[in-house]
Amino acid sequence: MIPDGSLLSADGLYKSYGSNAALTGAEFSIHPGEIVAVMGPSGSGKSTLLHCLAGIVAADRGTITYAGRDLSAMNDAQRSALRRSEFGFVFQFGQLVPELTCVENVALPLRLNGVKRKAAEATALRWMTRLEVDDIGSQRPGEVSGGQGQRVAVARALVTSPRVVFADEPTGALDSLNGELVMRLLTEAARAASTAVVLVTHETRVAAYSDREIVVRDGKSRDMERAI
């Protein structure tokens, strides 16, 4: 049963890839401004759950509701618009555009939404300052460290002031020191903006930054707070 007041929720999700069942009745909920860690071993279905919640892939069965709207009822264009404006994304390896400078990478979601370049880059620089990477704005991703690049990716995820950020193993490619810095800055910035964060991780030190943990195993989910 999904709690009332959820910003994003899923009920009875099933998803298979051929004969491989990735999700088998998973549930999920997150409230505005909440940080929820989705944990589980490799292959448990946690990344598939994130991709379904974000509208990147369609579940075979079940319902996903975002701000009172049924994601499965939206067409591709509507889901794409949602991902550009109300959702932000941080991936394990950043996935920055190598041909663009760091400030251009952060400004990219705004540019795709029609914001003029000067205004987009001014907003991008403000977010880069908050993430402590404003000094590398003119450099390209290949010219900065992994930790700096991941903080640029976090700034890009937050630049549109999304209501939900999906972070899939955001520290997986970093050493522990840079991982802690990325998580501290990500969670501080998200909480200040009242942005909800869906945090997929297998590391307990990363999950410790969350308000609540959901464990996915064999395609099923278990809310650890409600299980206590």
What does the pLDDT profile of the chain (228 residues) look like in tens digits?
455 689 999 999 999 999 999 999 999 999 999 999 999 988 889 999 999 999 999 999 999 999 999 998 899 999 998 998 899 999 887 789 999 999 999 999 999 999 999 999 999 999 999 999 999 999 999 999 999 999 999 999 999 999 999 999 999 889 999 999 999 999 999 999 999 999 999 899 999 999 999 999 989 999 876 544
Measured CA to CA, the distance from residue 198 to residue 210 in angstroms comes to: 9
**Cα gap 6→214, rounded to integer Å:** 15
Question: If phi over 0 gives left and psi between -120 and 50 gives alpha, with beta otherwise, what is residue 95?
Answer: left
Record the tokens describing residue 52, joined without a space. 């379904």
Per-residue confidence (pLDDT) for residue 163, from 0 to 100: 97
Looking at residue 227, its pLDDT comes to 46
The whole-number pLDDT of residue 5 equals 82
Output b/e per residue, 80-102; b: 16+ Cβ within 10 A.
Answer: eebbbbebbbbbbebebeeeebb
| Model pLDDT, residue 16 | 96
Pairing of strands 69-70, 61-66: antiparallel
Q: What pLDDT, on the 0 to 100 scale, is given for residue 2?
A: 53
Q: Going by C-beta distance under 8 Å and a sequence separation of 6 or more, which residues neighbour residue 154?
A: 90, 131, 170, 182, 185, 186, 189
pLDDT value of residue 155: 96
Residue 3 confidence (pLDDT): 58
